[in-house]
Amino acid sequence: MKKIIFTIALMSSTIVTFGQTWTLDKAHAKLGFNVTHMMVSEVDGSFKNFDLKVTSSKDDFSDAVVELTADVNSIDTDNDNRDKDLKSDKFFDAAKYPTLTFKSTSIKKAEGKKYKLAGDLTLHGVTKPVVLDVTLNGTTTHPMNKKTIAGFKALGTIKRSDFNLGSAPAAVISDEVNIVANIEINK
C-alpha cells in the first residue's frame, strides 16, 4: 500500500513539474470590450484591474490552461457617469458580483499561431461557455530582465442577454459585446 501511495505521489509531482506557470505583465496588457451604441457607433471599455495565469508544458501553448479574474469595479469607459451606471444593479451589479472569471476547458490549434480557446465565463452570477479566437503573437527573451515573455491577442463575442446584463434594448446598446484582450505574460 505504501508503495502505491509513493508511486502516485511521485507521478503527481512529476506531472506538476512539466507545466510552466506564466503570469500577467500588467503594464503590457489590456482586457477590453466594445458595444454598439444607438446602432451607429462603438463604445469601448476595459477592466483596469485583472489578473491572468497560464500553465503550459508546451512551447506553442497547445496544452495551455488559462485562468482570468477581473475586478468589475475597475470598469472604465472614459465616462464617469456611464461607469457608475455599468457598476450599478442595472447592469453588472458590482456590489453583488464584484468579480468576473474565465477558466479554460480546452485549447485547440486552428492553424499556425491561431487557437480556439474554450472556457467558462462567469459574469453577473451566470456561467456560460465561450470560445475565444486567440493568436500567439510570439515569444522572446526580455532584454532587461532576461525572462521569457509571450504575447497574445484574444477576440470573442458574448451576448449581454446571456448574462442578464442590463435591460436596455439592443437598438440602444447592442446585445453583442465584443471582447478584445491584448496580453503579455512572463515565464
pLDDT at 6 over 90: no
C-alpha–C-alpha distance, residues 65 and 106, integer Å: 7
Q: How far apart are CA 25 and CA 150, in angstroms?
A: 10
User: Which has the closest alpha carbon to 79: 25, 37, 31?
Assistant: 37
Grid coordinates standing for 40?
451607429
pTM reported for the whole predicted model: 0.88
What is the rounded average pLDDT for all residues in the chain? Answer: 92
**Eight-class DSSP state of 15:** H
Report DSSP state, residue 175.
S
The band of 18, judged by pLDDT with boundaries at 50, 70 and 90, is low
- Predicted confidence band of residue 30 (pLDDT cuts 50, 70, 90): very high
Predicted pLDDT of residue 7: 46
Give tens-digit pLDDT for 109-153. Answer: 999 999 999 999 999 999 999 999 999 999 999 999 999 999 999
pLDDT reported for residue 17: 42
Q: Which domains does the chain have, with CATH numbers?
A: 19-186 (2.40.128.110)
Q: pLDDT at residue 5 above 60?
A: no
For residue 19, name the pLDDT band (cuts at 50, 70, 90): confident
